[in-house]
Structure 1
Amino acid sequence: MSRASDAVIDVVIVGAGPTGLALGVDLARRGVDALVVEKADGLFPGSRGKGLQPRTLEVLEDLGVLDAIFAAGGRYPVGMIWQDGERVGEHRMFDADEVKEAAGDSAFTEPWMVPQWRTQEILFARLEELGGRVEFGREVVGFDQDEDGVSVRFASGPGLRARYVVAADGGRSAVRRALGIGMTGETVDPKPVLVSDVRITGLDRDNWHVFPPRGDGDGYMAICPLAGTEDFQLVAQFPEGTAVDVSLDGIRKVAAARSHLAPEDVTEVRWASEFRPRAALADRFRSGRVFLAGDAAHVHSPAGGQGLNTSVQDAYNLGWKLGAVLSGGAPAALLDTYEEERRPIASQMLGISTGVHRGEVKRGAATVQLGLGYRESSLTAETRTDAGTIRAGDRAPDTTVGDVRLFDALRGPHWTLVAVGVAPPELPESVHVVSGEAQPTLGTGLFLVRPDGYVGWAGETDGGLLEYVTRLAL
């Protein structure tokens, strides 16, 4: 077992899903010595979380993987409703005009579909490109923490000593359970659901094929082509108490019973699982030097595509804070703001996911995640008496300042001072500066933008700005 006198890793990230890999990428580009450990022998093989919302696309652009994400995926196909082997109507997953309006200034005006396994491959490749590491076959079975760090134990092989640990090991998180942190939640729907990646003949790849219940007690079935692959994702709901058969024969029987497809039209099952939709929120997101992120902290119904997106944004929030404390000399108290900021967001997104599942909330403005922010955070300082549309705590807009696209200036692991119509003051070299004339979106003033793209401080003049910068050791 490693001791405090041994070499210490800055951060051990438990779980190589989208959350753990995104955090690994963010820490690697900050020069933080982080190691991702994963109990499985490889990356998760299924499509499960396949929808990337506009705000997550902005995050992925900053992390340097947007081109690969776009190359690997595609737009959401139009739903085609079938009945008795006939096409009887179309169904759109969301109102495109409403989503475009909700996207506002964002360059991304609709969700993008990429199977989860492919998103993970892309993040993994980016992590390796940055010099980051993943060790597979490393199952965490316990840990001990003290005021200096965390000693992590594994089912096999030597232990590790880390300054911090992040549990990104899913809804059944072993780390969360070892910490004794409970989850409060509910069963969203007691009916079991089959989700599988299959190869199918006899269906076009231009539509998301929807087969409503036939009235004989069975639930719906939907078969969606997965862009960038030859696969379809087949989802089917069953009556409560059903034992779901995830074998090839079992899935063939479901497909044939609920559609015009013949059993042999399902030629291969590449991955399959069964679940019951639930919503749950961890009672805490931190215990000492151990943090919870992603599904380890909040479990969503897949409806509305909020789970993976909220999880990646957990990583994006925590990454810059860990980097600032470990490499930049920021006070350790900065890490307290992770739970302060992300737990309310996760709670809000859980409500939306559950609402979408139950038909109470529409996909659209509520699900793109661009309006989320941290106005109430202790990190937020709004000093203007007459604040404009963009306030401290809000996501910085994707606008132009001078002749520079603001998001291009924000890209990277740094803070950025945006000065519009006001001369920028002298700040540490670590803070990038963008200046230009007053403009409609931002008006006039100074905006200090955090590394995760949210305005931390805003003012008409620089009064109080240096104090804020000094407090965070920028």
Structure 2
Amino acid sequence: MIIGAGPVGMSAALEAARHGVRSLVIEQRRRDDPAGAKCNTVAARTMEIFRTFGIADNVRAAGLPDDFPTDVIYCTSVAGIELARIPLPSRLERLNADHHYLDSHWATPEPVVRVSQMYLEPILRRKLESIELITFMDCTTFVEYQNVDDHVVVRYALPDGRQGTVTAQFVIAADGGRSAVRKQMGVKLVGDVELGRTRSTLIRSAAIKSLFGDRRPAWMSWVVNHKVKGNLVAIDGRDTWLIHRALPIGEEDYDSVDLHQSIRDLLGVGRDFPYVVLSHEDWVGRRLVASRLRDDRVFLAGDAAHLWVPFAGYGMNAGIADGVAIAWKISAVLSGWSSTRMLDSYEDERLPITDQVSRYAMANLLENIEAVGKRRIPRSLSSRFNPVGAVLRKLIGRRLVKLNVPQFTPAGLNFGYFYDRSPVISYDGEPHPSYDMGSAPSSTVPGCRYPHHWLEDGASIYDRLGRAFTLLRFDASLDVGSLTAVARQLGLPIEVVDVPANTPMDHQQSTLILVRADQHIVWRGSSLPANVSTLLQHVAGR
């Protein structure tokens, strides 16, 4: 059973269905309620997941027009003076091999997509409702759960006051930052309770695009001037925009930033500029991580497990990784080839990563605050004629680009993280390579993501991975029959894929690499171990 049908909950259900596991998904919102526009980035790592669901093309095609750039700019207002620009491609430019951008070298079959959650959720929902293994109940509110021996009893409520119960073998709680499941578990959120306050307004205005004038339009425009600090996000590239305005540091009263005047100050327009408010939300930026992710057969995922400032777009993306990870592990147990030891690995793997990623996001926020947030911005910054303003713009622009290229091209957060304390990975003593937000070395150390590469026939190596384990063999003369025979005896699904020895891949030192369905390496070697059964039972959580 999955509680919550946001991107995290729906992704968990889709992953379970991929492995033939039935699920019930309950959601307190109405089926046709529009999704919010909180997250506007689908990370490359998430797109790799969506590729396995068969929806990557749909996600890539949603939201912005094909020719709308995903540039990030820093400016005194949207209509004002640019301080700096981080050029990033439109959908069409991404397809042009002659164009090279900051993330063009990434080793992935699925580049990042700038698409709003308001377009993503309907794609996931349509896929969800097309699968017979998934039952979806909207307008259904979680009340309580009870672990009972080998199952969980969940009580829910309907809008008319009626209540019912469901018996499930496992529960994934993806019910958001105010998670009722987490509260019943008695799990505390640990970290920074408040990093800043923001006013966010979704507006409709066909006039905003013209504010870029003859400049290349930007997907995200960061604004700093003596009146307001915030940003503008292009939602559809036409007339729908999301505007964030930060409250001054230490300020708690949201009304201290006038809702409408702050929008005009950020855009750089007068009172007669036309726009319509579609929705508005005031919120607090936090960095909070759950102290644990499990109560017997009940697991937390997504915002129920962690809350942090939306830098690098990694709240939703990390949550989807949570949901898919625990859904795969539960499916392994229900399919009979694993045991509850596999479930123990969920917290051992995901909780340290959640903490790491949240710290990277927080550090980036604090660096940006240090660069512009704590300073009193002089009027001269916005003046085209004041030489002091020109010098300031140059200095601040350089600083902001240096700080934020890693945020908007976060190779490390996508591909660098590793599992270094998992009970279902066979380590060999080699240390994991370090990474930061913007960079990640390729590595085949167990626990790392297997580096992506293309095969001779043009296929992605990830498309050849099995739904449990895949043994990649770089020397076709090596006999791996003993491994496949033991796997059959154990009922463990395993594929063998021969990879040409001349495949261009950094740090490839082993001729055999065992990879999980989530692309993480669980073992490597130059030959099979003496006791193949011990290895397979270890990585299968037996």
User: If the TM-score is normalised by the length of the shorter chain, which range does it land in?
Assistant: 0.7 to 0.9
- Following superposition, the deviation at residue 420 of structure 1 comes to 0.7
Partner of 2:206: 201
- Following superposition, the deviation at residue 164 of structure 1 comes to 0.8
Alignment pair present for 1:409 and 2:464: yes
Partner of 1:79: 73
Distance 2:295 2:523 in 1: 28
Amino acid at match of 2:38: R
Distance 1:398 1:171 in 2: 33
Alignment pair present for 1:54 and 2:44: yes
Partner of 1:457: 523
Distance 2:3 2:294 in 1: 14
Distance 2:61 2:361 in 1: 27
Alignment pair present for 1:33 and 2:22: yes
- Following superposition, the deviation at residue 188 of structure 1 comes to 4.5
Amino acid at match of 1:127: L
Alignment pair present for 1:119 and 2:120: yes
Distance 1:275 1:433 in 2: 49
Report % sequence identity: 25
Deviates most, 441-450 or 310-319:
441-450
- Following superposition, the deviation at residue 357 of structure 1 comes to 1.3
- After superposition, residues 41-440 of structure 1 pair within 5 angstroms as 41-42=30-31, 45-74=35-64, 76-79=70-73, 81-83=75-77, 85-92=79-86, 99-101=103-105, 103=106, 105-109=107-111, 111-131=112-132, 132-156=134-158, 157-190=163-196, 192-204=197-209, 206-208=217-219, 210=221, 212-215=223-226, 218-227=227-236, 230-239=239-248, 240-244=251-255, 251-263=259-271, 265-359=273-367, 362-363=406-407, 364-365=409-410, 368-383=413-428, 389-400=443-454, 403=457, 405-410=460-465, 413-422=467-476, 423-426=478-481, 427=484, 428=487, 430-439=493-502, 440=504
- Following superposition, the deviation at residue 55 of structure 1 comes to 1.5
Counterpart pick for 1:466 among 533, 536, 540 = 533
Distance 2:77 2:238 in 1: 27
- Following superposition, the deviation at residue 47 of structure 1 comes to 1.0
Amino acid at match of 1:26: E
- Structure 1 135/399 Cα, relative in aligned 2: closer, same or farther at 3 Å? same
- Following superposition, the deviation at residue 120 of structure 1 comes to 1.4
Distance 2:176 2:272 in 1: 35
On the 8 A contact 2:25/2:135 being kept in 1, the answer is: yes
On the 8 A contact 2:77/2:265 being kept in 1, the answer is: no
| CA offset digits 1:100-130 (Å, max 9, x no partner) | 45x3x22345x32111121111111122222
- Following superposition, the deviation at residue 98 of structure 1 comes to 5.1
Distance 2:278 2:153 in 1: 38
- Unaligned runs of 5+ residues in structure 1 are 1-11
Residues paired across the two proteins, number = 453
- Following superposition, the deviation at residue 443 of structure 1 comes to 4.3
- Following superposition, the deviation at residue 413 of structure 1 comes to 2.6
- Following superposition, the deviation at residue 316 of structure 1 comes to 2.0
On the 8 A contact 2:74/2:223 being kept in 1, the answer is: no
- Following superposition, the deviation at residue 424 of structure 1 comes to 4.8
- Following superposition, the deviation at residue 350 of structure 1 comes to 0.6
Instruction: Give secondary structure in 2 for the equivalent of 1:376.
Output: coil
On the 8 A contact 1:211/1:259 being kept in 2, the answer is: no
Please identify which structure carries the higher strand content.
1
- Structure 1 228/456 Cα, relative in aligned 2: closer, same or farther at 3 Å? farther
Distance 1:59 1:413 in 2: 12
On the 8 A contact 1:306/1:367 being kept in 2, the answer is: no
Distance 1:48 1:386 in 2: 37
On the 8 A contact 1:418/1:447 being kept in 2, the answer is: yes
On the 8 A contact 1:398/1:405 being kept in 2, the answer is: yes
- Following superposition, the deviation at residue 201 of structure 1 comes to 3.1
Deviates most, 260-269 or 326-335:
260-269
- Structure 1 93/341 Cα, relative in aligned 2: closer, same or farther at 3 Å? farther
- Following superposition, the deviation at residue 48 of structure 1 comes to 0.4
- TM-score, normalised relative to structure 2: 0.77
Larger Rg: 2
Deviates most, 262-271 or 153-162:
262-271
- Following superposition, the deviation at residue 97 of structure 1 comes to 5.5
Distance 1:243 1:145 in 2: 42
- Following superposition, the deviation at residue 416 of structure 1 comes to 1.2
Amino acid at match of 1:194: R
Deviates most, 14-23 or 420-429:
420-429
Distance 2:78 2:353 in 1: 43
Deviates most, 196-205 or 55-64:
196-205
| CA offset digits 1:204-252 (Å, max 9, x no partner) | 182246463442xx54132221147741111111231223499xxx743
Amino acid at match of 1:241: E
Distance 1:183 1:100 in 2: 37
- Superposition RMSD in Å: 2.9
Distance 2:118 2:479 in 1: 45
On the 8 A contact 1:73/1:112 being kept in 2, the answer is: no
Amino acid at match of 1:112: V
Distance 1:365 1:289 in 2: 34
Amino acid at match of 1:91: R
Instruction: Give secondary structure in 2 for the equivalent of 1:118.
Output: helix
- Following superposition, the deviation at residue 195 of structure 1 comes to 1.7
- TM-score, normalised relative to structure 1: 0.87
- Following superposition, the deviation at residue 94 of structure 1 comes to 8.2
